[in-house]
Amino acid sequence: MSSRKKVIVPLNRVEGDLKIHLEYDGDTIYDAFSAGTMYRGFENIMKDRGPLDGLVITPRICGICSNSHLAAAAKALDMITQCMVPDNATRVRNITLIAEQLQNDVRQHSLLFMVDSTSPAYVSSSFYDEALARYTPLKGRSVVEAIENTKKILEILSILGGQWPHSSFMVPGGVVSVPGANDIVQCKYILRQFRMWYEKQVLGCSCDLWRQVRSRQDLEAWLEASPAHYQSDLGFFLRFGREAGLSRIGKGTENFISYGFLDMPRNTRVQSLGSTGYYMPAGFVSKGSVRQVNQHEIMEDTSHSWFSGHGEELHPYDGMTIPYATGSEGHRYSWGKAPRYDGQPAETGPLAQMLAAQNPLFMDLLNQDGPSAFSRQLARIVRPTLTIPVMDQWLEEIAQTDEPFFTPYGEIRNGQGHGMVEAPRGSLGHWVIIEDGRIKRYQVISPTTWNASPRDSNGQLGPWERALAGTKIRDLKIPVEVDHIVRSFDPCLVCTVHCADLRWEV
């Protein structure tokens, strides 16, 4: 008798509702389908609007990465207007992108990912009482501190961008906010307070010391080297991850993409981690080797999505968003499209950034275990060690110069441009065509579109579908491994997400 079963795992309380459909053979997932269940249609909202409207409308795509959408929209217009962005404007854009990312990384870790360490699945584990003390929603020590401190770091966005979320202070050619000396002093103070907390509570050591951890062996030695390391949030994550077996689950596609994080100002004392004009380099990583990203290689496939079309792949400049929601065709199952790079699915996010930068720790973890829920989550929670110091340096450089923040641009009548940035969850692109002073086409590929991709016309699974397939589940009534794997990608879920319901179909 077959032991195959189908399970639907709706992940609720999310921004962009997500449903995971799993097919089990005994206790092992043999197939997975990722379905975005809500159509929003921002790309169609943009049509026929004025050329600058993307700066106001697209940040509303999301309440947690809105500044990244603003940056992508502004960069597409930088390209269309061919405006030179002054260094100070690049610094302000970068500082605000980092502030948004710090907020995201800490909240994702403490308010979303680690809450699963309090799952009933772990009630008999040695770490359970400690997990409850740290991560019980709204009460745990790490949860409460994460809420307090991430609220503070966002004040930098309010000072430099006027508001968060949904600000519109970036424009083609720069930014409209010109921070005064007092603003910079305030930002530096907020950052210093955040850094002190992050180093003490989250990391357990200084950012400088952490950057000396260059291999899995170093990582294990670091954990035991001091009670501060062991007791930090990171120390607990390492201990929990070991017992929960996080490095054995969630492998994924083994292709990674990063568009490059933070444009380098022409004059700066910040050292780039690569050679592609970004602080963290762009790269497509496959089988451990990195090659340059060429946006011409990006296509979207809609063969399994609820959009009309014959399933042919289209570059985003040619992309269409025509909803086709009959639901009657069995092979279509998601409102998400399937982005492909050179025909291949690719994971994006902090792990991809680390691998594009050939970071020694993450290269070693990749070589030893392959990608996993563990390395994906570790990359996110230690990413601030690379960005906090450069944020501080760019604030200092703004304070020391009186360069402009904006280059004026002329009327925008015709043109096409793309803005490619790294949002907290990874690679985000806006592709825009303007004709006769109106937006003719606007296509957005967000990081979660890459990671939550459904199958393509070649039957290739998306990254987290691939990461789920083959996973052995310890307790089928509480499939906490599914939560760990999907949440390690940091889906676009603004609120806490839990499996609400499990419906079994025989």
Binds ligand NFE (CB under 6 A): choice among 64, 355, 420, 468? 64
Q: How far is the CB of 426 from ligand NFE (least distance, A)?
A: 7
In the complex with ligand NFE, which residue's Cβ is closer, 118 or 348?
348
Binds ligand NFE (CB under 6 A): choice among 62, 102, 111, 280? 62
Q: Half-sphere exposure (CA, 13 Å, Cβ side) for 475?
A: 10
Instruction: Please report whether residue 351 would count as binding ligand NFE according to CB under 6 A.
Output: no
CA torsion through residues 378, 383, 386, 389, sign: negative
Number of residues that bind ligand NFE (CB under 6 A): 14
Binds ligand NFE (CB under 6 A): choice among 108, 110, 334, 446? 446
Instruction: Please report whether residue 417 would count as binding ligand NFE according to CB under 6 A.
Output: no
Which strands form 255-258's sheet, in the order they lie side by side? Answer: 289-291, 283-286, 255-258, 347-348
**Beta-sheet pairing, 255-258 with 347-348:** parallel
**Beta-sheet pairing, 347-348 with 338-341:** unpaired
Binds ligand NFE (CB under 6 A): choice among 428, 433, 473, 497? 428
Q: Where are the beta strands (DSSP E) in 202-319?
A: 255-258, 261-263, 278-280, 283-286, 289-291, 298-301
Q: Is it true that the peptide bond before 165 is cis, omega within 30 degrees of 0? A: yes
Question: Exposed e or buried b for every residue in 322-343, given b needs 16+ CB within 10 A?
Answer: eeeeeeeeeebbbbbbbbbbbe
Q: What is the residue whose two structure tokens read 């969630």?
A: 250
In the complex with ligand NFE, which residue's Cβ is closer, 56 or 363?
56
Choose the stretch contacting ligand NFE; rule: CB under 6 A; options: 6-14, 142-150, 155-163, 441-449: 441-449
Q: How far is the CB of 146 from ligand NFE (least distance, A)?
A: 17
Instruction: Please report whether residue 105 would count as binding ligand NFE according to CB under 6 A.
Output: no
Q: How far is the CB of 19 from ligand NFE (least distance, A)?
A: 17
Q: How far is the CB of 140 from ligand NFE (least distance, A)?
A: 23
Instruction: Please report whether residue 492 would count as binding ligand NFE according to CB under 6 A.
Output: yes
In eight-state DSSP terms, residue 425 is T
How many angstroms separate the CA atoms of 412 and 150, rounded?
38
Q: How far is the CB of 284 from ligand NFE (least distance, A)?
A: 18
In the complex with ligand NFE, which residue's Cβ is closer, 346 or 398?
346
Instruction: Please report whether residue 424 would count as binding ligand NFE according to CB under 6 A.
Output: yes
In the complex with ligand NFE, which residue's Cβ is closer, 143 or 421?
421
By C-alpha distance, which of 47, 67, 44, 45 is closest to 55? 67
Residues in contact with 163: Cβ distance below 8 Å, sequence separation at least 6, in sequence order: 157
Choose the stretch contacting ligand NFE; rule: CB under 6 A; options: 29-37, 166-174, 211-219, 422-430: 422-430
How many angstroms separate the CA atoms of 446 and 451, rounded?
9
In the complex with ligand NFE, which residue's Cβ is closer, 244 or 444?
444
In the complex with ligand NFE, which residue's Cβ is closer, 179 or 419?
419
In the complex with ligand NFE, which residue's Cβ is closer, 240 or 450?
450
Instruction: Please report whether residue 15 would count as binding ligand NFE according to CB under 6 A.
Output: yes
By C-alpha distance, which of 390, 398, 87 is closest to 266? 87
Binds ligand NFE (CB under 6 A): choice among 281, 345, 429, 447? 447
Instruction: Please report whether residue 448 would count as binding ligand NFE according to CB under 6 A.
Output: yes
In residues, how long is the chain?
A: 506
Q: How far is the CB of 489 from ligand NFE (least distance, A)?
A: 10
- Identity at 476, one-letter amino acid code: L
Instruction: Please report whether residue 425 would count as binding ligand NFE according to CB under 6 A.
Output: yes
Q: How far is the CB of 326 from ligand NFE (least distance, A)?
A: 26
Cα 153-167-138 angle, rounded to 5 deg: 40
Whether 20 and 37 have beta carbons less than 8 Å apart is answered as no
CA torsion through residues 18, 23, 28, 29, sign: negative
Cα separations in angstroms, 399 against 107, 178, 264, 272, 387: 30, 11, 17, 21, 19
In the complex with ligand NFE, which residue's Cβ is closer, 22 or 73?
73
In the complex with ligand NFE, which residue's Cβ is closer, 62 or 461?
62
Q: How far is the CB of 396 from ligand NFE (least distance, A)?
A: 27
Q: How far is the CB of 492 from ligand NFE (least distance, A)?
A: 3
Site string for ligand NFE, 357-396 (x = CB under 6 A): ----------------------------------------
Binds ligand NFE (CB under 6 A): choice among 205, 423, 473, 499? 423
Residues in contact with 101: Cβ distance below 8 Å, sequence separation at least 6, in sequence order: 383, 384, 387, 424
Q: How far is the CB of 156 from ligand NFE (least distance, A)?
A: 18
In the complex with ligand NFE, which residue's Cβ is closer, 274 or 424?
424
By C-alpha distance, which of 308, 304, 333, 310 is closest to 320? 308
Residues in contact with 233: Cβ distance below 8 Å, sequence separation at least 6, in sequence order: 109, 110, 114, 134, 142, 201, 202, 203, 204, 381
Q: Cβ atoms within 10 A of the Cβ of 61, count?
A: 24
Binding site for ligand NFE (CB under 6 A): 15, 62, 64-65, 68-69, 423-425, 428, 446-448, 492
